[in-house]
Amino acid sequence: MELLEALNRHWGYESFRPNQEDAMACVMDDRDSVVVLPTGGGKSLCYQAPAVCRSGLAIVISPLISLMKDQVDSLRTSGVPAAFINSSQSDHERRQVADTVRSGKLRLLYIAPERLVQQRTIDFLKSSNVTFFAIDEAHCISEWGHDFRPEYRSLKMLREQFPGVALHAYTATATEQVRADIVRQLGLIDSEMLVGSFDRPNLFFRTERMDDRMAQVREVLRRHKRESGIIYCTSRKAVDELSELLNAQGFRTLPYHAGMDADARSRNQEAFIQESVDTIVATVAFGMGIDKSNVRYVIHCGMPKSLENYQQESGRAGRDGLDADCVLFYSMADYARWKSNIDGASAGNREASHHTLRAMVDYCTGVRCRHRSLVEYFGQDFDSESCNACDVCAGELDVVDDALVIGQKILSGVVRQGQRYGGEYTAMVLKGSRDQRVRGNGHDKLSTWGILEDQPVQTIRDWIEQLVSQDFLLRTGEYSILNIGPRGGDLLRGEVIPTLLRASDSQVRLNKQVARQKTNWEGVDRDLFDELRILRHDLAAQAGVPAYIVFTDETLRQFARIRPSTLAGMRAVHGVGDKRLADYGDAFLACITEYCRLSGTSFDNTEVRVPSSNAGSGVADAENSVSRSSRMADRKPSRQPDDEGRKTASKESSSTKPAAFKLFREGHSVDDVAARLKRAASTVRGYLCEFIDQEGLTDPDPWLSADELSRVEIAIKECESDRLKPIFEKLGGEVSYDTLRIAVCLLRNRAEAVAE
């Protein structure tokens, strides 16, 4: 079988992601390889698809039992014979796996390194027609890596024991040093080194100083209702506290940290994976071994100790390639705590640790594109002018108008003080403090003393950090003494204008964020999506697999956009392969059919705009210039045959929506708008719900009567849910789905207005 054919038949994908084709070619040609791709880059498929296309058995070495199970579940759901051998199994189960290996039917066998190196295993595999070894999380072999595992070192023996069998190493995080170490340790010969971009364009990065933790977290959760997410806190106490507070305010969350007993921990983890709960509040103990692809947001309540940590933790968002949010709330107290940890540790790596921490602080407080900052930190170039996916590039930050003058004042202050003081002290002098130290140094006599007296000292402090991040100032030495930076002269001469931020105006930010969020869901019937998600949860629970393995979020969103009326229509949707269609197609089709019938919604929607989750999904998204997914789509190599048709349709729909909004604003009814715009009433109703959502409307006039709205409100209370089906049934089918849907949108806005 050809690779592309396998990709489509088993996974329902139409094309490769960047670097996948080359990585797969190495496996097909038995050429050793090291593949470095970011989380979500699609490393697994690099060895899974070739394993399907070749005869014989592929051995996958994986460090975590939980990951093995997820991968094997996922492969089986895709119709690929796979198994694992590890300590979680009984002897009987292991014997069964050995029998399947002997039968020659298995394509992939997952195994932990410590088991692999046992002589018995080696002997067994020698008689099992092994075609290649795939070493997952390969950085674990290197002491330079962040997750060194001594048991990985013994993998050295593979070369001697299996001469002629190719070795392929995969990792998301490898510096050049680690890469070289992987090659050396495994004894790779003439290996191909494939390093993808570390950038994750589908992640939207933003940082905010933490001034009202609850309000800030709440705001993110509201934007991600009924979506999966992780909130990281820096201590167990903070985890328990935040989880409780959020639950008390009506959000459903579960805590996770190493202080909880193992049972409770795994229960909560399971609930998150199975999607019985959407949000997990956790310490960094949570995440290793979690492959959940549809995490839509990762919030950090507190600054991690390094960008390596941040990249890894935030990287758990959006593995499926759909847009996801990574929000970091930081405070300088975090910095002080990490700093004192470093100072209290043995001298060894202190300087390196300070450097790492400084980079983290610069990321938080700086005003450089966050994607650029991360990518450059990891040693790669960032080509684009604007990433369009961070608070800086999206223009969310509120910049001050007189930045040049303020910047010059600050730099003059640093010069006048002889470039011998840190940021805290400098801010005090500029503010005009009469602190003993300031007076003792005679700095209250400087012309720059009090030159920014009308600004809060915290704001001055922030500006100093922002000037550092733009190279106008430089921090030196262990005490972070401020010096004039490489671009400082230009600023003092007035040749460049720095970017400095006003203390954040959260409402301005919020509006911009909400507007962006909408593009993600464009065309998706949210209520149908919710129904499908519940069905997915139930089917996954029955099959004992994580929910996202049944179908990804992207596939569900597509179902809820297109609303296919046949199995063939479903098969054409991204992420639907033969086996999944056979196993789950009927159930999802029945759900869509019933929903459309009851709500009078049309099937096979051709007006759909189809965002793509990756460079390889093969669908156009030309109109969606603000969607980050589309930036990946730009790089896609191929298209579906009906692509052009969809593109035309999308143009139409993107121009009718604003027109519909205008008519709603003028008070026209749904039928009226549908007739004027020559659109189906169901499409227009979808627009109306988006309109109500966007404008935060609570008044039913002119679309519903107050009486209808209050009937629905009572039914929602009685059902304790705003899902349409139970409400419809509660009202004895007397209120149509159309009315219900509009009512629910209005009532959600009302509930939010009350919670404010």
Contact assessment for residue 18 and residue 197, using Cβ atoms and an 8 Å cutoff? yes
* 723 contact partners, CB below 8 Å, separation of at least 6: 527, 530, 531, 534
Judge whether 267 and 256 are in contact, CB under 8 Å.
no
| 137 contacts ligand ADP (rule: CB under 6 A) | no
**Residues 357-386: x where in contact with ligand ADP by CB under 6 A, - otherwise, as a string:** ------------------------------
Q: Which of helix, strand or coil describes residue 635?
A: coil
- Is the separation of the CB atoms in 127 and 162 below 8 Å? no
Choose among 382, 369, 60, 32: nearest CA to 198.
382
293 binding ligand ADP? (CB under 6 A): yes
Give the residue, chosen from 4, 6, 13, 555, that forms a contact with ligand ADP under the rule CB under 6 A. 13
**C-alpha atoms less than 13 angstroms from C-alpha of 141 in its C-beta half-sphere:** 29
Query: Which of 147/490 has CB closer to ligand ADP?
Result: 147
Return the closest-CA partner of residue 226 out of 729, 743, 609, 723.
723
Q: Does 51 bind ligand ADP (CB under 6 A)?
A: no
Shorter beta-carbon distance to ligand ADP: residue 11 or 737: 11
* Sequence-separated contacts (24+) of 40-44 with Cβ below 8 Å: 40/200, 40/202, 40/293, 40/315, 40/318, 40/319, 40/320, 40/321, 41/17, 41/172, 41/196, 42/17, 42/614, 43/136, 43/170, 43/171, 43/172, 44/71, 44/136
How far is the CA of 392 from the CAs of 153, 395, 626, 755, in angstroms? 43, 5, 14, 30
What residues numbered 679-738 form the site for ligand ADP, per CB under 6 A? none
Segment interacting with ligand ADP (CB under 6 A) among 319-327, 356-364, 395-403, 734-742 = 319-327
**Binder of ligand ADP out of 6, 33, 34, 43 (CB under 6 A):** 43
- Minimum distance from residue 13 beta carbon to ligand ADP (Å): 4
614 scored as a contact of ligand ADP (CB under 6 A): yes
Could you say which of 3, 4, 9, 16 contacts ligand ADP (CB under 6 A)?
16
Both tokens assigned to 701: 């006039």
Which range touches ligand ADP (CB under 6 A), out of 50-58, 179-187, 314-322, 687-695?
A: 314-322
Among 19, 33, 36, 42, the residue binding ligand ADP under the rule CB under 6 A is 42
- Chain residues 539-558 in contact with ligand ADP, contact rule CB under 6 A: 552
Site for ligand ADP in 18-37 (CB under 6 A): 20, 37
Please, which residue, 52 or 501, has the CB nearer to ligand ADP?
Answer: 52
Q: What ranges make up the beta strands (E) of 274-427?
A: 279-282, 295-301, 324-330
To the nearest whole angstrom, how small is the minimum distance from the Cβ of residue 270 to ligand ADP?
Answer: 19
**What is the distance between the alpha carbons of residues 519 and 634, in angstroms, rounded to a whole number?**
17
The verdict on 617 binding ligand ADP (CB under 6 A) reads: yes
From candidates 616, 631, 673, 738, binder to ligand ADP by CB under 6 A: 616
10, 19, 23, 41: residue in contact with ligand ADP (rule CB under 6 A): 41
- From candidates 17, 223, 370, 371, binder to ligand ADP by CB under 6 A: 17
Q: How far apart are the first and last CA of the chain?
A: 57
**Closest CB to ligand ADP among residues 41, 113:** 41
Select 40 or 485, whichever has its Cβ closest to ligand ADP.
40
Choice from 19, 33, 44, 470 touching ligand ADP (CB under 6 A): 44
From the list 23, 36, 40, 353, which residue makes contact with ligand ADP (rule: CB under 6 A)? 40
| For ligand ADP, the closer CB: 207 or 555 | 555
Residue 324 to residues 248, 263, 297, 697, 712: CA-CA distances in angstroms? 26, 30, 5, 26, 32
Compute the least distance from the CB of residue 14 to ligand ADP, in Å.
7
Residue nearest to ligand ADP according to CB distances in the complex:
42
- Closest to ligand ADP by CB, 268 vs 614, is 614
In Å, what is the CA distance from 370 to each residue of 135, 400, 684, 729?
A: 31, 20, 38, 48
Q: How far is the CB of 564 from ligand ADP (least distance, A)?
A: 19
Segment contacting ligand ADP (CB under 6 A): 274-282, 315-323, 396-404, 695-703? 315-323
Is the Cβ of residue 293 or residue 650 nearer to ligand ADP in the bound state? 293
**Contact yes or no for 611/627 (Cβ under 8 A):** yes
Residue 10 binds ligand ADP, judged by CB under 6 A: no
Contacts of residue 405, defined as CB under 8 A and 6 or more positions apart, other chains included, come to none
Please state, in angstroms and rounded to a whole number, the distance separating the CA atoms of residues 230 and 304: 14
Residue 294 touching ligand ADP (CB under 6 A): no
CA distance 145 to 182: 10
Beta-ladder partners of 109: 59, 83
Distances from the Cα of 62 to the Cα of 68, 192, 370, angstroms: 7, 21, 32
Give the residue, chosen from 27, 45, 367, 727, that forms a contact with ligand ADP under the rule CB under 6 A: 45
Binding residues (CB under 6 A) for ligand ADP: these are 11, 13, 16-17, 20, 37, 39-45, 293, 319-321, 552, 614, 616-617
